[in-house]
């Protein structure tokens, strides 16, 4: 009876297929990084590409362009992405991260939400003088040692944003996100607010589930 209860609580096998090889978090596939019910990955284009050309890189891996909704997430994403660019041997030649947002007539932004209605941007981290209304792509600066533009005030620019025109081609990677194993299906949506996770202990079941709530 105990075995039946534990097995019943596991994630259905069908939902587990996209995570055939699970990473150390137990909630994201290998190559993806877990944070608050979501899995993130920095994906590099094969060569210079526009934002429109980069977006399929997320879709091809069952994910969507990531939205950043808080300072804490921005800080985490910046550090995570910088490490990914460094690990790929592409830093400092590449020092920007591509984010995707649709700019509105009043220069406000909406995060793209392929699974639903695009989301208003409630958090921004623009560099000095930005956005200039250049376009619907947001670039996040990764270099902790430099100021990217002379128009930006001196001081740390790591994590700051710059809007750029949509036809801009670059080898900057795009940040992709999808719901973690066991998270609500909308966990990757830009308006999703994670709920506190219950305390969990080690996995007690044998169907691929890596966590079991006590």
Residues at the site binding Ca ion, with contacts judged by CB under 5 A: 130, 132, 134, 162-163
Q: Residue 159 or 182: which CB sits closer to Ca ion?
A: 159
Rounded (5°) CA angle 103-109-113 = 100
CB of 64 to Ca ion, least distance (A): 24
Q: Residue 37 or 130: which CB sits closer to Ca ion?
A: 130
10, 21, 24 from 208: Cα distances, Å = 8, 10, 13
DSSP letter, residue 22: B
Reading the block at residue 128, the tokens are 């000095």
CB of 165 to Ca ion, least distance (A): 9
Separation of alpha carbons 135 and 102, rounded Å? 8
Q: Residue 130 or 172: which CB sits closer to Ca ion?
A: 130
CB of 157 to Ca ion, least distance (A): 13
Q: Residue 27 or 160: which CB sits closer to Ca ion?
A: 160
Q: Residue 64 or 98: which CB sits closer to Ca ion?
A: 98
CB of 168 to Ca ion, least distance (A): 10
Separation of alpha carbons 176 and 91, rounded Å? 19
CB of 126 to Ca ion, least distance (A): 9
Reading the block at residue 36, the tokens are 């608050």
Encode 95-140 in three state secondary structure. Answer: CEEEEEEEECCCCCEEECCCCCCCEECCCCCECCCCCCCCCCEEEE
């Amino acid at each position: 009876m105990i075995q039946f209860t534990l097995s019943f609580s596991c994630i259905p096998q069908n939902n587990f297929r996209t995570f055939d090889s699970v990473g150390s978090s137990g909630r994201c596939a290998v190559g993806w990084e877990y944070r608050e019910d979501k899995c993130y990955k920095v994906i590099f284009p094969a060569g210079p590409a526009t934002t429109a050309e980069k977006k399929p890189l997320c879709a091809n891996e069952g994910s969507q362009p990531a939205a950043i909704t808080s300072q804490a997430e921005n800080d985490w994403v910046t550090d995570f992405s910088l490490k990914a660019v460094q690990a790929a041997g592409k830093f400092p030649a590449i020092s920007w991260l591509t984010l995707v947002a649709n700019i509105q007539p009043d220069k406000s932004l909406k995060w793209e939400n392929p699974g639903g209605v695009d989301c208003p941007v409630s958090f921004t981290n623009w560099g000095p003088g930005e956005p200039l209304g250049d376009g619907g792509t947001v670039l996040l600066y990764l270099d902790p040692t430099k100021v990217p533009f002379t128009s930006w005030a001196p001081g740390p620019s790591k994590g700051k944003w710059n809007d750029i025109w949509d036809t801009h081609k670059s080898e900057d990677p795009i940040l992709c996100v999808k719901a973690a194993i066991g998270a609500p299906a909308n966990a990757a949506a830009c308006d999703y607010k994670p709920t506190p996770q219950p305390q969990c202990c080690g996995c007690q079941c044998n169907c691929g589930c890596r966590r079991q709530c006590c």
